[in-house]
Amino acid sequence: MRSRGLVLVFIAGLLLPVGCGAPDITGDVSDYAAAVNGSRTRQCDCHGLLGYASIGECKDGLGDVTQDGQACIESALAGEEERGAEFLPCATTAYMGYSDCLAANVNCDESALMLCTSALDTALDACSESDLRGSIEACL
């Protein structure tokens, strides 16, 4: 009987570290990057409002969140993966809403752009763990 109890304690000790690891946020980072990149594409639909002469110039100027940018985000969140797993899906949804708002601005109205940008900022600030925003955006 005593050996069975020791076996259970040993097995529990082996399983415990597996369950307590930091969450894998790679997918969340990838989704976030895709949403940011999509919003940048939409921003460039109204490139003139951003001071660019063409869509191509705008896309070059704004750039994309690259693999290096994603690696930077993962590094910035090292040790903060649980908090990142809270913030990133919310921020992804915020950027998707921003893209939708920009897509509705078919006449490239500056006040509509400002409203979309304000709504994005409000949505990002409302995300839990929004204090991570600065370190994440530094990678963009």
> Quick check: is 125 in a domain?
yes
* ∠ CA 72-78-67, rounded to 5°: 25
Q: Are 132 and 90 in contact (CB under 8 A)?
A: no
> Quick check: is 10 in a domain?
no
> Quick check: is 118 in a domain?
yes
* pLDDT single digits (tens) 100-115: 999 999 999 999 999 9
Spell out the residues 6+ positions from residue 26 whose beta carbon is closer than 8 angstroms to its own.
74
Range of the domain at 39: 25-137
> Quick check: is 111 in a domain?
yes
> Quick check: is 102 in a domain?
yes
> Quick check: is 85 in a domain?
yes
Share of the chain above pLDDT 70, in %: 86
Q: What is the average per-residue pLDDT within 50-60? A: 97
State how far the Cα of 95 lies from the Cα of 85, in Å rounded to an integer.
16
State how far the Cα of 111 lies from the Cα of 113, in Å rounded to an integer.
5
pLDDT > 50? residue 74: yes
Q: Are 103 and 42 in contact (CB under 8 A)?
A: yes
pLDDT (0 to 100) of residue 37? 98
> Quick check: is 2 in a domain?
no
pLDDT (0 to 100) of residue 55? 97
Identify the residue with better confidence: 59 or 6: 59
Domains: count for the chain: 1
> Quick check: is 19 in a domain?
no
